Structure 1
Amino acid sequence: MSAQFESFKTAWRAADYAQALTHVDAVIAGQPLVAALHWYRANCLLRLDRPVEAFAAVNRVLALNPDHAPALVKQIELSGLEEPEGDDGEENGEPTPAQITARMLQVEQHRQRQIAQLRRALEIDPTLADAYFCLSQLLRDRTTHAVLNGGDAETLLSDDEADGLLEQAIARDPARVEFRCARAERRRLRAVQVPDGTPAADCVQSRIGMRYLRAELEAALADFTECARLDGGPRYRLHMGRVLHELGRHDEAVAQYDRALALLPADAPQRAHVEDLRRRSQNGGRGELDDVAQLIESVIAPGDRNQQEDLVATALLGTAHALRGGQDLQTAFAAHMPESPDDLLAANIAENILNVAFEAPPDLVAADAATFPAYQRRHAARQRAAFAAAGLRHVADAEAAGMTPTLGQRVLLGLHADADGATCAATFVLRPKWPGVPGFVMLLLAGKWKKHPMTECVSHFDDDGYLITQYESISPFEYGTAVDIERLPRSTPVAALVRRHRERVAAYRQAHPQARAFPASDLAAIDANWRRGQIVKRNYRRSVGYISDAELRRLLGGHYERLAQRVRQKIGVFAADREAAAED
């Protein structure tokens, strides 16, 4: 061998592929018809990430030696499944069905030629691991193409020849990461195909109700684990985390995502994706349930809802609450969207009873009154003038944005406070959406926002004193001694309502001289007070089983015997989901 060829070998061993290319080119200049030299050149070009030139070099190898088995394989690897050039016969237009059919036939014929070429390469050299792998992938592509054109989808999972070829590739080169990864993905795909009658012990079920074959997932995990060991980077840690999550081994999944994050640079764009996967697996996989819950909630159309939309929205929101409480998707849907009309009505009533206890955080934001319905603007303007005459200042026009999805419509709140901030006054109005007893029950239970015009004064003290003075209400709910509510006739002027509340505050302060009122001086302070009140009311609702029998009788009226037991049963099921979600 020439000194240049020895220099080529030295440079190749040192991984100096640019220098190796220079030396092999010099050797080729003197011996241009030696196929092996062009093969060395192709490999240098591949290492230098110059695939187009490498492809040309491989073609030169085959021109000189058509039976060069590694080059036969590499030619296909570099070309991919290239569609042959052809004239579709159209000028800047969509191809006709006949042209599409002809094109597809050309693609399939091209694929068959590549399959034949790989089989010939294996006849020449049966030890070529790449040939087995490439042929298995091409056969799999052929099967996929057949399924897309109306074939049996089951063949995607039972391509025995392709699977056998992949096994042979791994047996011949067990350290090739891409071979093991392909097998792992195949195993994971088979894991989702659970035959009817499969014993429960052989399956694993995800938090959203997906069933998998345990053995296939565990086999996929073993392959991905070996890939991670061989590769050393973060990629296969993500695959391991995904399969561990599906196996229900959520803490182990989180650990793999943490290892992937440790391997990624601080500014890597992939970090956000890994952190999202990690979130899904945290807390026993609850993040995945939250993702599905958000997807369900996104189906609910924004803005005002009619009767039917409100019924569906309540059921969907209940399903989302159940998922966040840890229930699987199938069970949650079955409970909140039953087929029986009475069960559906009972489920809706139960959800709205629980909405009273688990009222969403208000998330008060300043609002432009001009964007609300005229009847709300008129009510707010009248009450604003009346409160000003009673000596209260206007704090803000606002919207409880956090409650809008439950309410099904936007609500304009007029918020006012007295000079020392001890009293907050709120006023709002909602127009009923539909009449009739069943509709009335829905309207009533959807919360105070859906009843009628409401004006109330509220004071909350740091010793748990909680005073509300409001107009008479059709609400069936009481709060015992937890909330001291006094209701005045609806004909009472606003000034008299404010005066009576001030009298009650003065009496409370005299009886509790150490008590200090939480101020209601601005929107943030009012939001904080509202949240304190929600906690007090929720605790009381819990103490009575969310609704007392007297309250339920007042609520259902003549429908008590028909619906009460169903409503109680639904509350028992749904409350656990709400409590679990509240803990998060």
Structure 2
Amino acid sequence: MEVFFLMMGLWLVVAVALGMRRPTGFGGAQLRARLDAVYGEPHELVRVTPAAFPEADLEFYDRVRRELEQRKYRWLADVEDLTLSRIYPQNRTFLRLFSDAGGMIRASAYHLHPRGVVISMLQLVQLFPRHLRVIELVSEIQGTFLVTSNTHGVDRLEPPPEAKVERLPLQTPISEVIERHQTRITELVRAHPERSPVTFETFEDVLASIGRAHVTMARHRQKLGGLSRDELERLKGRPLSPTEEAFLREVQGKPEGEPTSS
């Protein structure tokens, strides 16, 4: 879910990064309002059935479930983030949630198929493949969210310092994502033996952890003013022009003359 939130936020800034003409009336303040909608209030997650998502790659979801269950992971639920579905009604999807046998890892699998204006913008600069099939593993260890996913080169917004995200190539096998995450857990626990991992025994445990991660991300976005100069310049591939700097100032709510957040 941590990477999921980052990618959803990315969609909102692509038009700015591309230097494309924005819809009439869509200025920096409007972009900030949309970012606040993604990272602001707690998200509403509800149980769903896969049949409600006819364009989802159900074979991918089922393959992930088989592979994870072979490794003693437990399927917990299929859920939809209604908050994000309201923001992106053309791009609804669902997440399949799991926890491992030891209760130290929560896993999610999801298929993203961006459509409409979003897909045309993303495809234009090859920021996003037409279909993205993600496996994401998360462990929460006393305020640190250890995240391993197969989203290298896709989620270009920076996570908060509390989230240690490692992005593997898109085609990385599920087994390698799992093995890498387990190695990272071992390394972190050895480096900080005084820290105890949070355990995930139930669906409610996973939802509570997702909620804590979202609060951490929301605070980070607020601190940045919604979007940082570094993030926008990374998407642009060059320093900002005066016009883009003025737009960023509006996003961050900074008055003229006050430097924008990097």
What TM-score, normalized to structure 1?
A: 0.35
**Counterpart AA for 2:210:** W
In 1, the alpha carbon distance for the partners of 2:38 and 2:118 equals: 22
Question: Residues 473 and 414 (structure 1 numbering): CA distance in 2 closer, same or farther, change over 3 Å?
Answer: farther
Secondary structure of 2:213 counterpart: helix
**Structure with higher strand content:** 2
Indicate the residue corresponding to 2:110 in structure 1.
428
Secondary structure of 1:382 counterpart: helix
Secondary structure of 2:115 counterpart: coil
Secondary structure of 2:233 counterpart: helix
CA RMSD of aligned residues (A): 3.5
Q: How does 1:547-562 map to 2 (within 5 A)?
A: 547-557=227-237, 560-561=240-241
Does structure 1 residue 527 correspond to structure 2 residue 242?
no
In 2, the alpha carbon distance for the partners of 1:379 and 1:538 equals: 30
In 1, the alpha carbon distance for the partners of 2:42 and 2:112 equals: 19
In 1, the alpha carbon distance for the partners of 2:56 and 2:170 equals: 18
In 2, the alpha carbon distance for the partners of 1:357 and 1:473 equals: 21
Question: Residues 521 and 349 (structure 1 numbering): CA distance in 2 closer, same or farther, change over 3 Å?
Answer: same
Deviations 1:262-295 (A, max 9, x none): xxxxxxxxxxxxxxxxxxxxxxxxxxxxxxxxxx
In 1, the alpha carbon distance for the partners of 2:85 and 2:134 equals: 17
Is contact 2:226–2:252 with CA below 8 Å preserved after alignment? no
Indicate the residue corresponding to 1:399 in structure 2.
80
Higher RCO (CA 8 Å, separation ≥ 6 residues): 2
Deviations 1:110-160 (A, max 9, x none): xxxxxxxxxxxxxxxxxxxxxxxxxxxxxxxxxxxxxxxxxxxxxxxxxxx
Indicate the residue corresponding to 1:468 in structure 2.
147
Does structure 1 residue 568 correspond to structure 2 residue 248?
yes
**Counterpart AA for 2:105:** T
Secondary structure of 1:497 counterpart: helix
Indicate the residue corresponding to 1:378 in structure 2.
59
Q: How does 1:4-153 map to 2 (within 5 A)?
A: none
| Structure 1, unpaired ranges of 5+ | 1-309, 312-339, 575-584
Question: Residues 538 and 390 (structure 1 numbering): CA distance in 2 closer, same or farther, change over 3 Å?
Answer: same
Counterpart among 201, 211, 217 of residue 537 in structure 1: 217
Indicate the residue corresponding to 1:459 in structure 2.
139
Secondary structure of 1:375 counterpart: coil
**Structure with higher helix content:** 1
Is contact 2:56–2:93 with CA below 8 Å preserved after alignment? no
Secondary structure of 1:419 counterpart: coil
In 2, the alpha carbon distance for the partners of 1:444 and 1:540 equals: 27
| Structure 2, unpaired ranges of 5+ | 1-10, 13-21, 255-262
Does structure 1 residue 364 correspond to structure 2 residue 55?
no
In 2, the alpha carbon distance for the partners of 1:401 and 1:353 equals: 16
How far did residue 341 of structure 1 move?
4.3
Is contact 1:366–1:399 with CA below 8 Å preserved after alignment? yes
Is contact 1:459–1:466 with CA below 8 Å preserved after alignment? yes
How far did residue 494 of structure 1 move?
0.4
Is contact 1:425–1:455 with CA below 8 Å preserved after alignment? yes
In 2, the alpha carbon distance for the partners of 1:522 and 1:510 equals: 26
Counterpart among 90, 96, 119 of residue 414 in structure 1: 96
Is contact 2:200–2:206 with CA below 8 Å preserved after alignment? yes
Indicate the residue corresponding to 1:231 in structure 2.
none
Deviations 1:411-457 (A, max 9, x none): 2111111112110011111212146897339x999xx9x98322210
Question: Residues 481 and 569 (structure 1 numbering): CA distance in 2 closer, same or farther, change over 3 Å?
Answer: closer
In 1, the alpha carbon distance for the partners of 2:172 and 2:115 equals: 26
Secondary structure of 2:112 counterpart: coil
**Counterpart AA for 1:561:** S
Percent identity of paired positions between Structure 1 and Structure 2: 23
Does structure 1 residue 350 correspond to structure 2 residue 32?
yes
Question: Residues 374 and 357 (structure 1 numbering): CA distance in 2 closer, same or farther, change over 3 Å?
Answer: closer
Is contact 1:365–1:523 with CA below 8 Å preserved after alignment? no
Is contact 1:423–1:457 with CA below 8 Å preserved after alignment? yes
Q: How does 1:137-286 map to 2 (within 5 A)?
A: none
In 2, the alpha carbon distance for the partners of 1:452 and 1:429 equals: 6
In 2, the alpha carbon distance for the partners of 1:344 and 1:531 equals: 30
What TM-score, normalized to structure 2?
A: 0.74
Is contact 1:393–1:418 with CA below 8 Å preserved after alignment? yes
Question: Residues 413 and 363 (structure 1 numbering): CA distance in 2 closer, same or farther, change over 3 Å?
Answer: same
**Counterpart AA for 1:404:** S
In 2, the alpha carbon distance for the partners of 1:560 and 1:529 equals: 37
Indicate the residue corresponding to 2:8 in structure 1.
none
Counterpart among 173, 189, 198 of residue 518 in structure 1: 198
Deviations 1:30-72 (A, max 9, x none): xxxxxxxxxxxxxxxxxxxxxxxxxxxxxxxxxxxxxxxxxxx
Secondary structure of 1:539 counterpart: helix
**Counterpart AA for 1:506:** T
Question: Residues 466 and 351 (structure 1 numbering): CA distance in 2 closer, same or farther, change over 3 Å?
Answer: same
Aligned length: 232
